[in-house]
Every structure is written in C-alpha cells, then in structure tokens.
Structure 1
Amino acid sequence: MILRVFSEGFRIFFLASCLFALVAMGVWEGYLAVDAMGGIAVLAPAQPPHIWHAHEMIFGYGAAALGGFLLTAVPNWTGGKAAPQRFIGLAFLFWFAGRLAMWDSALLPPFWVAVADLAFLPILALKIAAQLLVRPKPQQLIFLLALALFWSANLFCHLEWLGILSDGVEPGLRAGLLTLIAMIVILGGRVTPGFTRNAMVATGREDRLPVNPRPLAVLSIAPALALPPAVLAGLPEIITGLLAILAGSAAVARLTLWRGGWTVRRPILWTLHLSYGLTGLGLLAYGLSNLNIGSEVAALHLLGIGAVGGMTLSVLSRATLGHTGRPLAAPGPVALAYVLMPLAALARYVGSTMPDWHMQASLIAGGLWIAAFALAFTMLIPAWLLPRVPRAPVGKPTT
C-alpha cells in the first residue's frame, strides 16, 4: 500500500495536498483563535504568521496540487510513459523538505531554507518538459512558462529573506497566486466546457452544446499570464488593474457559453463552472482594487479560496475518481465539500470588507475550508491507497 501511493503522481500529491490543506489551515486557525481570545500565539517559522500562511497556501498547497495534476495529465496528453515510481517518490521528498524547511526557518540559515523550498519545481518542470517535448504543442508548452513564473515568484520571496531584495515577499506572493490563477484560466477553460460537452453528448444531446471561441480564450489567457511578471516587475497598478479586468471579463464571458445551467444536478460538473466563475470574479475584484475600488485583500482571498481552492478540489476529486476506475459522480460528502468552498470564500470576502467582522469571518472561512478538505480526504483516501477498481464492461453498471 505504501509503494502504491507513489505509483502515480495523483495519488501521493493529491493526498499530500489535501492533508497539507488541513494541517496548514489548522495551524493558522489555531493562531487566529488564540489571538481572538487575547492570547499571544507564536509560530515556529521565521516569517510573520500571516506571511507564512500565505506562502504555504500558495507554494506549499498550490505546488502539490500542480504536481499531482501535471504528472497525471501530461502523459495522457502526449501518449508517453508516466513518471516512474522512484521519480514520484523523489519529487515528493523534495516538496516535503521544502515544507519542513519553511516551518523550521527560524532555526535554519535562510540560504538552505531557500534551497530546500525552491528545489521541487525545477525537478517537476524538467520531467514535464521531457514528456511534453515528445510531442511538442504550443498550447501545452505554455505550462513550462507558467511553472517558471511560479518558481520566480517564490524566488522573489526568498531573495528578500536573504537580504538581497528590499521588497520581494509582497510581489512574490501576489505573483505566485496570480500564476496559479493563470493556470486555472488555461486549464479550467479547457476542461470545464470539454467535460460538460462530453457529459451532454453521453445523454444523447446533439444541440446547444458548450462553445469555447478561440478569441475569447486568448483574451482571457494572455492578460492572465501577463499579470504575474507585471507584478514582479513593479509595473503601475493601473496596468495590472486593467490586465486583471480584461482577463476576468473574458473569463466570465466564456463561462456564459458553457451551458452551466445544465449541470445543476451533476455536482462534479457544476463545481468546475462555479470555480471558474469565481476565478473571473476574483480577477475583476483584484483589477478594481488596483484602481482603488474595493479591497485588495478581499479580492486576493476570493482568488485564493474560491478560485484556487475550489478548482483544485474539483479537479483533484474528479481525476482521482476517473483514474482509479470509479464512477465519475461525486459522493455526497465530496459534493458537500464543493458547496463549502465557495461559502468559505464568501465568508473571507465579507471579513475583508467589514473590519468589525474580520476575525469572526476569518475563523468561519478557515473552518469551512477545513471541513471541505476533511470530507474530501475521508472519501478519497481509499482511492489513493487501494488498487484501481476494475471498470465494468460496456453496457453494465459500474459498481
């Protein structure tokens, strides 16, 4: 069983991302609770608690979710061999070493913290590049650019902690989150209409299927990918604001063409539509905040919880079920998790726009996040640890 969890990328990295989402948020919730009661909470990392929290949710949780998805999807795209078990195990150890180094950063030299935390993504990128170059396609090679942006954003954080940059953490955290958002704009823009179309066709429907016009796709993807380097370069907020508004507007426009209403009775589909919608709305809110309209903190949490949390939970659950031979229908507790995630985003958004309710809303949002991932983890861990379920013969139900 232990070896099986390293046999496929989605098993160990989706398991790790869910578990890390629970542990990291649990630590943050504990810190907030002590603070709310008037106590003095001290966390182990060298960074201020809110910086450690933001960094680990982006570069800890986000990187694990990316690893699980890319190591699973890329071999399917190219028809090549999946990563061997020894590579998956080694990659996981590098990711885990980064998390330990960040937690113990008060006891370690900043240089070695940086080495440990920055090692995982280059190893992942090299493997993904080797697989993609078997059958290179521009629309797939773009993920190497996104991985480079994501790594560079994390590098900016460490350069400040090393004393090399005076202002690297804030742009690094924003650029890291916005790179994850750009990947969601790209990937979500493929899988959401694609999976919906497949499901509709499977029911015999032949008309009014989802459409995904290329011009709208370009209008959403290009500015979304331009946002992280713009933030790292310190471009004026009017530029980053307009880029975010353009990307968000195009994303929302695309969503209206994907027949989301048809998915109401299919949680494993509507969660993709909802998460993509929150991605578009989050980009709009972020763009407006850069133009001094609304709260930037509220917008960033709408992106972090509603978009990243929602879409990664949606994709990891669907991929786990599909790649282990289980029916592509969300179990009840997982469907409930899909509901809790946008509620967590809403609670945190309210907390950022209503200062008097900030602490209460933050605790509620964290509690909903923990509940969502606890439900998903409990239901999906057998799929990660146990063998694939034999698929039922065509024409017979899958059990």
Structure 2
Amino acid sequence: MKPDYLFTAGWRVFFLAAGLWAVISVAIWLMWLIGLVDGGHLGVAPQSWHAHEMIFGYATAAMGGFFLTAVPNWTGAKAAPERFVMLVAGLWLAGRLAVCLAGVLPSAVVAAIDLAFLPVLAAKVLTQLMARPKPQNMMFLLLITLVWISNLLVHLDWMGLTGTGWQGLRGGLLTTCAMIAALGGRVTPAFTRNAMLREGRAERLPVEHPRLDMAGIALAILTAFVVILGLPDAVDGGLAVLAGLVAAARLAGWRGLALPHQPIVWVLHLGYGFLALGFVLWGLAQLGLGDEMAALHVLGIGAVGGMTLAVMSRASLGHSGRALVAPGPVALAYALIPLAVALRWAGSTFPGSFYLPGVIGSGLVWCLAFTLYLTALWPIFFGPRANGNEAAA
C-alpha cells in the first residue's frame, strides 16, 4: 500500500476526504453538544459551523471525487493529472482549516480561502465537458455555481455584511439535493437494470419516463433557486412538495425491491427515497406543517448522506477493478443511515427530553457508518487496482 496512489485519481483522495470529514466534523459537533469542546474558537455559532461543514465540506468533497471521475467517462476527455488533483484537494483542505480557524483569521480571508475550491473544480469540469458538450451534462456547471453562491451567502453573513446565512445553508443543501435528483435519477435505474440483466432477468426491468424525469430535475433545481433568491416560504414549500411527489413517482418505476440481496443496488433506491420524502416533509414544513429542522435532516442525512455513501463506495470498488459487491462493513453502513435519519428526525419532531439523545444518537450512528466505510475501503484508496483495466462504476 503506497500513498503515491492517493492522488492518481480524484475519487481516491476526495472519497477518502469525504469519509474522514464525515466522521471528524460530526465528532467535533457532538463533543460541543455534550460540553467537551468549547466552540468559541470557531468564530461562528457551532450550529452554523456544523451545517456549513456538512454541506460545503463533506458534500463538496463527494462532488469533487464524483465529477473528476465521471466527467472523463462521459466525454472521453483526459482525466485530471496528479498535480491538479493535489491542487484541488489542497484547496478543499485549506477551506476546512480556514473555517475551523474563523475565530482567529479575518472573516474575509476565511471566505477567500473557502470559496476557492469550487471555481477551480468547475473550470476543470468545463474543459472536460467541452470535449463532448451535452446539455444534460453542462447543467451540472450551473448547479456547482449555485452551491458556490450559497456558500458566498453564508460567508457574507459571517462577515456581518448581510443576513443571508440561513438562506445560503438551505440553498446549498437543496442544490446538492438537485444534483441527486439529476445524477441519482440517472444512475439508479441504469445500475438496477444492469444488475438484473447480469442475473439473466430481462423481464420487468426499471421503467423511465422522460417527461417525468425532466419535471423531477427541473422542480428540484427550481426549489433550490427560489431559496437562494430568498422568495417567500410558500413558494419554495409548494415547489418542494411537487419535487418530492415527482421524485416518488420516478422511483416507483425503478424496481427498488427487485434485488434485496444486492445492497450496492438497493442503497441507491433508499437514498432516492429519502430525497422524495425529504422534499415533501420540508415543503410541508415551509407551509406550516411539521418541523423544518427534522425535514432538513431527512434530506441531509438520508438523501445526501445515503446517496453519496452509495455512489462513493460503488465508484471506489468499480474504479479499483473490484467486483461491484459491497463489503460487509459497507453494507452495514448503508443500513445504519435510516437509523441515523430516524433518530435525528425524532430529536427535532419531539423536542424536550428527547432532543439531545436523538441528536447525539444520530451523530454516533452516522460516525459509525462512515468509520465502517473507511475501514473497508482504506486499502482501495491507497492501493493499486485489482487488475489493469479501469472498471466502470
């Protein structure tokens, strides 16, 4: 096992970084909750730091690994060289360190460092997409831009220039969910179909409806966009409910129960199911029905956490030349995500005596899930491919 392999592909370093930050950042959050860590050095409210690092720390690392891996496959463009992978990984890490030192560094410096990562990543993605430009792929540049704008809104609030912190956090999460609506909606039925065909099951394959697919993606993007614009809650709430219902309708045709013996397949359906549920719950909360924080964590833990865990583990196995079979610890990690969602949802829905146990329990389950992921895939991140051929993820 040689560290030299770590920067040979974007998926290696970023999927490792995402897993590590998933554990480290939530562990810091939990220690603050129980009084073991003083959050004063962060320079911002610990709750705001936690939300920021889940969205613009963890999720953007997963994005970096995915786009640096998938886009060359889509277009046939040359993969990013090691020096570029090292550069963008360094920018992502610098952002995490700067935000952790926000109580020491000038807020403008923190913003400049943290906002540097996504533009550099987007520039590389653009050059690769131009090798074979397609609207359905170019769209992701818009979504990366919306994530960056959302992060900017948070930093402007931290600098005391605006009151857009909460707006930016919600916008970043919902834009990430829009990416899942598009990407998850692309890979979930495709990977399910491929797995069924490999088993010789050519009947009752997943069914896709192009108009429904377009509506689901458009509604998810529009929901994020109106949140970033700061439009009234009734507008984004109504759009979110529609986005969730359409996502559920799409999911219903993808044969989610066809392969219960293949965790690496059903976890994709699970993540997309949480997307649909989270959109509906959050939309209803915006309309005055239900707790918004509970709904946001269904999206954050279930949809973003679940789907990124699914895709990162699958891509790591596939691109390292291994069989697309989830190792036991990874399969257990998949199964722990719904428990983390349920505990966090209950903590906000039934506040009072259950809030702290629910939040802490959810955080511990989350940390356990990603520790299992890291333990199982650590040798893959640092080691050579199992064979000489690049396997499709």
Q: Which band: TM-score by shorter chain?
A: over 0.9
Q: In the alignment, which residue of structure 1 is the partner of 2:96? A: 99
Matched, 1:252 2:242: no
Select which of 51, 61, 67 maps to 2:48: 51
Select which of 384, 389, 398 maps to 2:386: 389
Opposite residue 147 of structure 1, the aligned amino acid is I
Select which of 75, 82, 87 maps to 1:85: 82
Select which of 324, 334, 337 maps to 2:333: 337
Two-structure CA RMSD over aligned residues (Å):
1.1
Q: In the alignment, which residue of structure 2 is the partner of 1:396? A: none
Distance 1:345 1:40 in 2: 25
Contact 2:28 2:37 in 1 (8 A): no
Distance 1:300 1:365 in 2: 14
Opposite residue 18 of structure 1, the aligned amino acid is G
Q: In the alignment, which residue of structure 1 is the partner of 2:25? A: 24
Q: In the alignment, which residue of structure 1 is the partner of 2:192? A: 196
Distance 1:330 1:315 in 2: 11
The Cα shift of 1:216 comes to: 1.0
Distance 2:242 2:215 in 1: 7
Opposite residue 129 of structure 2, the aligned amino acid is L
Contact 2:9 2:69 in 1 (8 A): yes
Q: Number of residues paired by the alignment?
A: 387
Contact 1:154 1:176 in 2 (8 A): yes
Structure 2, gaps ≥5 residues long: none
Distance 1:267 1:42 in 2: 38
Distance 2:54 2:229 in 1: 23
Matched, 1:160 2:157: yes
- Equivalent positions of 1:306-317 (< 5 A) are 306-317=302-313
Q: In the alignment, which residue of structure 2 is the partner of 1:269? A: 265
Counterpart secondary structure, 2:361: helix
The Cα shift of 1:118 comes to: 0.1
Q: In the alignment, which residue of structure 2 is the partner of 1:364? A: 361
Matched, 1:326 2:340: no
- Equivalent positions of 1:54-73 (< 5 A) are 54-73=51-70
The Cα shift of 1:300 comes to: 0.3
Select which of 200, 215, 220 maps to 1:224: 220
Contact 2:22 2:370 in 1 (8 A): yes
Structure 1, gaps ≥5 residues long: 393-399
In the superposition, the TM-score normalised over structure 1's length comes to 0.95
Same amino acid, percent of matched pairs: 51
Matched, 1:289 2:289: no
In the superposition, the TM-score normalised over structure 2's length comes to 0.97
The Cα shift of 1:391 comes to: 6.6
Q: In the alignment, which residue of structure 2 is the partner of 1:108? A: 105
Contact 1:326 1:391 in 2 (8 A): no
Contact 1:153 1:171 in 2 (8 A): yes
The Cα shift of 1:237 comes to: 1.1
Distance 1:236 1:387 in 2: 51
Distance 1:162 1:335 in 2: 42
Distance 2:37 2:79 in 1: 48
For 1:219-263, what per-residue CA distance to the aligned partner results, in whole angstroms no more than 9, with x for missing partners?
211111012221121111111011101111000111110011112
